[in-house]
Structure 1
């Protein structure tokens, strides 16, 4: 009997009262070093054992402690051994009376009760495992018992005193050798084919078909012809044995352990049960088998008594297996599963290798994949491309069964029948026998050409479904078969009487086999960015040495076999290679004027655009020219891969170019301001020449690396632009709105919500007088957080290619031209004659971006100035108190939020002559009501000037009513 090699988890195979003995290399013993030295090579030995055993399975395992030899005997009685450690101390693990007991040399070391208090009848050995720390687990829970942890050990697994396997571990890596027949069957789990009303189910089938017959098998250019049923009437049928499949547990159970299999059936109603007329004949164990842990049960019975699919009852069955255990027997039962009857028909052979959602049928098999009028004719396949290919020197051949599968449709046994599911269903080749079907493969001869060269019988051998090449009777190195296309007929047959259910054809191409190509990497080195295209040539010596010679071909042979993969030519008529996606430039084939003598070479050209695109990524350029075989598909492509690195030049400001006194914030910021009063032009304009912040009023630069002549500084010009980094920056305006900045494509305009904010003209940055620009400019004083935009210094050469700068970006701070402040100590007095009046210019004072007051004064550095004309220079149009929004603390209110008008309507505050330049009027307080005690008011003040508005607030005391 064939047995398998199985990898199992230690303890996973134990049953109740089983004993597992451990021969350990470490832990409690004094001779650790000796043992480690002896076992040091065990991993390689075990690998050799596994290789020697292969898939033959294990028949027996034995260990000789005296010699340290582990011996494995496979199912073919082949013996393989390896040396391991000798006379190692013995440890054992026993499961007894619901306890886990660890022993050393027969004496208890430790014990613990199983976590779930299991007893003999319910103990499940498959739940017993050990983790990496050596802790014994039951159903995943720790038992409290720990095996002495050993990086190297040998464990003999025993059941009732019989060794059933060994687990050998070296440096924590286990290798397991296991004898399958030692483990008894514990459970059966049904494998469903379908679900019937939600119940797992199998089917009893009846196959109906009309047989195909031979018309002629004459050898012609069009090949043989078969008679396909024109009007199928399902005159033939097959009623195969019924087959049910069950998972066996443990997986190593074999048929020799099972002495009897019994299936019993019932018809189940929604309520209650009744006896069924579906009788199952005795199961013939010879027809049953276990493969890869799956039990196949073959049986027959009165299928007519099975409840119909649309009935109110369903027929169910379960399987009982009698197994031999400890000299006695026990019965293991499966779960219940449904069984239903169905009709299979419309059988057709299909291409199992087809990648489509609905696999194409074989040529000639039916009208789905067949040219009109060619059903049942080999001509259909002869006219089509081969489905597969095999090398002429492939002695193992090609197994055509991998290209074939059987399709069918399934129907209920009701009248009228209804299709079950949609479209085709599939029977795998290894399941055909379950349905009473088989596949038969035959060479289908035809000839080609006027000399009538036979394509099948002369150039192919067919052994079952395996095709190999030949030439007549020559099978050793049949090179002349290359290019021939034999045809194989596939018949789906009734296994019992040979009637043909369906026919299809497979066309096979015999090839040279995989002939290696070659790949020559043409490294072109570094290229300094330049304006003009750059060309590299694959030279004659490279083509001859690395292509022709490496392939073992002459130049004439190479170009007879290969051609450049190309879909276009350039204006000179040269072939242009088809490059892969994402590659650079153009590769052309250079044919010499004398093609009989000279070498065909290649030239790779990259333009300035290619160079710039590469720099934008990683600077690496690649182009792959491919020579592909013209007709011989067995040959691999030949590729020449050009590579080059584009070196991007860079520059920076020359040392000392930045005039340090004009730069702020670690030389990263420059400041923009309106023209100083009295300096031409004396118009409060906001236009700043950026050149002025550099020494000599012009920037100077230095190159940081080697460059092409195109980037020498003599060929470089400069300009300023707004950086793209300004895009999508959000700023607030003093009008309460949020503005999103954008930069135009040329970098010359900065916008906020589409409105122009600033622009660059020549080397000047000019701030704009749009409402949006003014709102952004006046959001903050110059000494707090002025509006800032990023500028880029852009260097370009004569072909308008950009020379990147390492320090070419800096910030421009736009200083608010004027500031407004509240004078302290100003107040109103209640109940004075005609009200109490205060001048606006006593209430607030103005300064400009230099902190010069709008009056005669002295600067912080001691310079005397006369700022009385600044009102006119900065075009201060008005200073207005926002009367409606005056707030107060009267009556205990919050002066920041409570409006005076909401507290009382008896207090009247008015302003006069707010737009008189140089004076800006007065503000008067009157109380038209009762006596009042002292309180405070907050008066918002708005100053409007050429560049927008500036806001402040004045806090004033209102003194109590006079005389009270």
Structure 2
């Protein structure tokens, strides 16, 4: 049920108990405490419908509407409590208590919220007040017999119970059968009983209040006491007035004869039970007037009071009566009294008490006012509506940017909300009236109790800014409806139609009693919240680029007209014309929070000559250079004006978002193609390995190890082919004319990939690169992280690259480089560096080269081997020169070349000087380092012969050699090796393995030579 309305005290009646609880919340279905799944649960649920609110006769009614709880006492005085209408959680409890002191009863009404809020108000009742105990509907007295018939009374006393006429038929049952009871209303919306639903379908019979609880009495609610009599009276007012006319859009008072209204009164009666409805009376509540005079003075019979109308609402009956003023008792000691008699649909008659009636005449001058004028608030002249069209036109009636009435509007302008205006508004609810002829000067005039007075309305034509306001309204009798001109949603908001209100008297040929011009302002239902900001996105995709000529994109008229001005992404907003858009919005030159660019951009507004608010747009210039493979974003932002006059000049201007942004998204694709280095010089390669050598001997050469990597390719340079996916239009920075190549040392040289490298002396290193990969270094094997780069020095340089393409390679003349170079002779195990070819454009963007990686071997300049023609012989005489061999002749020297005699030192003796061979030596204790196969397996001399004899096998004497500029013509004297063993037994052939260290320009070479010892002679 709708819990907001506290006539949830059930159909207007105040039910049993003294406390009622309800919740301030949104509407719920009109179901009442859902019944159980069985039909026979109806009885229990009816009893539980509402056991709230006491039978205290002090409270006449309780109602809740529009956030206000109203408690009305028996005298008709309302006490109000404001309930937060947007609070959907708080439960409120209403407590009614009373205390008595003397002849005064104090009634306290307390409203307590579950949030601990509390409102307390009181009123008093004296013994002189009439308090009628209202007959209450007791829902606990409903019961259902075995046939499904509903009764009202005591279940055990069927004879004295009332048969309601409602029978619940037997219904097919299933697992989810539901039964509920809902309010049943007549065509006017008045609750007259209940309707029972089974599985949400109504039964054919209904439980009506009139079937259960008939009307028992009416109690007159007095408003006047006759002076000198102390008697409650009904006053019939005989009012006279001067007719009004409309002349040239102005309301004027006629100077013609005085007119008289019909003589009427509208007494009110409290109905018992208060849950009764007009449906319980016959002939729409027509009353028979019973008359008498006090002191039993009988007058001439005649009907001098006629019944006009009866209404019952919230337990109060109002009866409209009209009298003939000439027939009222005019003797001072006599008073006419009347009672009203009604017939119920149950055919019984109910008669009110007798109340005095008198006639009162007065001259009135009625003016129409705003609804603030009431019986308790007569107001003043400020409440008078305008009596000229010009005055009404001059009233300020504007809305602000939120579609709310603007501060400074005229007070008499009637604000009507959009949704209510579209649905239809009863204009009579906006209008009240006052009598300015009253002695008090300004008194509320209730025209509604005069059946001959009618308030009507006419549309008044006028313009605001050349826009006819009447086109935004329609009138159907007293119902005003707003009209969206041109079917543009909410286009009527901010418009101010005008009506002419006329109060006419049918008793006098529809003479005008009062008239006024009323301006209505159509406003938003609530403060208009702008729609969310709108962003129109334009996407573009380009290739990665140097962006030397900055990328640009500009909107055109078609884009602005079809994408921006249309607001097509929001169905609530209507498309604007160019002029409207650029009137409502201005270009935001400064950055706007929330619209953050990615990348460096220049975004500017495009203006046409004359700044005519048309054909505008935005230019986007991406100045980031070079472009990365990522997404760049820029915004051109238009910001709505804060000028309320501009906003309201556009239909629904307040709804349009604060910002409209054009978002340009540029996706930069990475390269999707590769390059292939082509036309390697075939003779320069051994598979994927090329080699760098020492310069060959000559008068102008040195022993540098250098080379030109370009010579490895046909034509002396590297040339490239692109894969088929290359698109020169998308990647203009990568066309051949913009590309260059370089050689670099590859990162595959690093420890993570290659591991460690070893020098001739056994030292292990890890290779390292400088920042631009043009230097190769060898550093400590255990270094990690930044320590590797920090360890790079000139002393541990291994090789370097130089020249335009890094094509010139030089092997370093450092101890570390020499150590690595001399580890192996020319061959598969020569020291090498992994190289990369880098192909890049003018802004250092690279294209992967599919075959750009290769190995570059650095070849040791000098090789050493045994001379098989040199040998020792066992058993010769001591000191025989045949057993003393020159070290220079004991070994064979060749340079890095393969072919003899070109590579032979023996054939080219000056090679000793050119390559700087300065020493041949056997390092260490000969017995420990020289080996022999004397025992059949290779062992050191000490192991083979024992320590004493091992020292008597061979002696080696080394000499240092120096060179002059003179050409060498004989093998230099590097010393000798002598076989000194004295044979005590005959021996066969065996071998000596002598480790020699050769020192030359590029370091030292360690080579073990094999010397034959021939058998004993």
TM-score bracket, normalised by the shorter chain, equals 0.3 to 0.5
**Structure with greater Cα Rg:** 2
Normalised by the length of structure 1, the TM-score is 0.40
